[in-house]
Structure 1
Amino acid sequence: MTDTADSLPDGADAYDPAGEDAEAWPDDVDAVRDALVEWYEDDHRPFPWRRTDDPYEILVSEVMSQQTQLDRVVSAWEEFLEEWPTVHDLAAAPQSEVVGFWTGHSLGYNNRARYLHEAARQVEEEYDGEFPEDPDELQELMGVGPYTANAVASFAFNNGNAVVDTNVKRVLHRAFDVPDDEEAFEVVASFLMPEGESRVWNNAIMELGGVACLKKPKCDEAGCPWRQWCHAYETGDFTAPDVPTQPEFEGSRRQMRGRVVGALSQGEALALDELGPKVRVDYTPGGEYGREWLLGLLRDLEDDGLVVVEERGDGETVARLAT
């Protein structure tokens, strides 16, 4: 990955991850960036608009996604592009047909269909059929606000700024204890995004918020790449701007017991140092979350008749599910 300049936007000095707030950050921020991108590139939801850099196709997906679950958008997006494959085709279509399609596919407010149709006409008439590439200029299109403009600039032209939506705020707040402040989120998002890599970065961090750092997080299930640095994962406090009440289960001893049972569910006996990393990504044999901590969980489960703990002749302690 290309290193970011580690500089802050003009006027953004309330929160400075490169300055006075740097001690709250991992020593190797590039490792944090690399981990996220590698996680995303290894496996992500295969939405078809992620396989194109056509700004028209991306704009259609973004407008459709504003009020509709992504899984439902896929078929509507594909049918829309079959009907109007290019921005020229959409601009030439009767607006009533576009609105009728929108209504028939339950895609939310009909104004979005009208705005999309008008934006296509603008591209044809004012930009000679070529989309502008800059986020600010994209906002000149009808119905295209800052978020949508930045998404099109990022995913079509790799020319966007860091995306800051509700999911991204949740990720940044939990992972790096960023205060619930609009300017702070903007600063940190810009600080983290590698220069010139808005396409992959914005896709990756939104994917993290969409499949792992949910309101009810799935840190281990989704293999979150930021667990070893994550403030919420370490403390068990998974509150966030859109999650005002901390789920009692998250980070609790009960959750850790569940992870032990899940790790042993294949029926194989595991030594402590094999089992530990499956329960906590920051497991270290002699650390706070090490063998002694793990044995405490195992003894509790043993008392409940769920787990058997055995000392082998070589002095190694192993655990397995009770049968």
Structure 2
Amino acid sequence: MTEASAEGYLPDDVERVREALVEWYENDHREYPWRKTTDPYAVLVSEVMSQQTQLDRVVDAWEAFLDRWPTVETLAEADRADVVGFWTDHSLGYNNRAKYLHEAARQVLEAYGGQFPRDPDGLQELMGVGPYTANAVASFAFDNGDAVVDTNVKRVLYRAFDVPDEDSEFERVAGALMPDGKSRVWNNAIMELGGVACEKTPACDGAACPWREWCLAYETGDFTAPDVPTQPEFEGSRRQFRGRVISILRDGGEVELDALGSRVRVDYVPEGQYGREWLRGLLDDLADDGLVHVADREGETFARLRE
């Protein structure tokens, strides 16, 4: 029994499993521009933008961001309000990601002399960079990462090899399956498999899945998979109103609470359900994220973007 099969889930011919996936990926995969660079700054931007955002929507924003701030130095020297404003204008989700990305750029310059850490542990020292993002940057920029385990990878392992829905087991099996020293191509390949062939509604034959020979789900026709959290609808969400606040303050400087509220939502009524209490809670959240400054003066509340 091989070391891989000792994991209890993988087939004995695990090397063929690996080769089949890499060959499938290298022959045909989606052409995202960040897959053509090993610049850790560009890779980090793509990873932060891709959090809970469809990849096809990220392409234009990623290219525009790098046109405006092409290096980690230019981002570090940028005005934070401009970076947050860009994030809002491109509907990239929670604005604190822009704040953290800006902080991380400053950190690379000030603490690391302009050079990114090259391993997952070092990258996690950067502001806002968690284990998944650190591992992705280490893999795609430096070919020095561990096996990436995202929702796509979990779905693939669950269906193909009957790995139980437990994070520790997914991580253990994913690590055993990844070939040594090939984190860049491997992590790209297995995430592509989950994103193209093994989606919630699988396209095994249509996408010529390279693992049909070994896949338990393909053999049995049972394509159940772990529940995958879905992103809340954007329209009418707290995320949307946070973005509106940022846009208004960026254009208007300091704004009084009621004047701000009437511009944030048409149904704003100071004493209503969506009134001062609701808006103050929204502003307090943004203040906690370091994006907004809130001040009370002479019985009135004012808000402005932090510099």
Normalising TM by the smaller chain, what interval? 0.7 to 0.9
1:33-72 pair list within 5 angstroms: 33-72=18-57
% identical aligned pairs: 75
Cα pair 1:61 1:73 within 8 Å, conserved: yes
Q: TM-score when scaled to structure 2?
A: 0.72
* Structure 2 equivalent of residue 99 of structure 1: 84
SS in 2 for 1:19: helix
Residue 27 (structure 1) aligns with? 12
Residue identity opposite 1:155 in structure 2: F
Aligned residues: 228
Deviation at 1:20, TM superposition (A): 6.8
- C-alpha distance after superposition, 1:258-284 (max 9, x if no partner): xxxxxxxxxxxxxxxxxxxxxxxxxxx
Which of 170, 174, 189 is equivalent to 1:185? 170
From the superposition, tell whether residues 95 and 198 of structure 1 become closer, same or farther in structure 2 (CA, over 3 Å).
same
Per-residue deviation, 1:144: 0.3
Residues 215 and 242 of structure 1 are in contact (CA less than 8 Å); yes or no, is this contact kept in structure 2? no
Change (3 A) 1:20 1:94: closer
Query: Which residue in 2 is equivalent to 1:207?
Result: 192
| 1:120-141 alpha-carbon deviations (Å, 9 max, x no partner) | 0000000000000010110010
Residues 178, 185 of structure 1: 8 Å contact kept = yes
Judge conservation of contact 2:138–2:145 (CA < 8 Å) in 1. Answer: yes
List alignment gaps of at least 5 residues for structure 2.
230-307
Instruction: Indicate the residue corresponding to 2:259 in structure 1.
Output: none
1:296-307 pair list within 5 angstroms: none
CA contact (8 A) 1:25 1:176 kept: yes
In the alignment, which residue of structure 1 is the partner of 2:147?
162
Q: Does structure 2 conserve the Cα–Cα contact (< 8 Å) formed by 1:132 and 1:138? A: yes
Q: CA deviation at 1:243?
A: 6.8
Q: CA deviation at 1:182?
A: 1.2
| 2:70 pairs with 1:85 | yes
The CA deviation at 1:179 is 1.2
Which amino acid in structure 1 is aligned with residue 98 of structure 2?
A
- Counterparts of 2:14 and 2:103, CA distance in 1: 43
Tell me if structure 2 keeps the 8 A contact 1:37–1:201.
yes
Unmatched 5+ stretches in structure 1: 1-5, 8-16, 245-323
Name which one, 1 or 2, has greater alpha-carbon Rg. Answer: 1
In structure 2, the partner of 1:251 is none
Contact in 1 for aligned 2:80/2:102 (Cα 8 Å): yes
Give yes or no for contact 1:116–1:142 (8 Å, CA) kept in 2: yes
Structure 1 residues 120 and 218: alpha-carbon distance in aligned structure 2, compared to 1, 3 A threshold = same
Q: TM-score, length-normalised on structure 1?
A: 0.69
Query: 2 CA distance for matches of 1:73 and 1:134?
Result: 25
Does the aligned pair in 2 maintain the 1:170–1:242 contact within 8 Å? no
Contact 2:7 2:176 in 1 (8 A): no
CA distance in 2, matches of 1:59, 1:121: 14
User: What is the one-letter code of the residue matched to 2:200?
Assistant: K
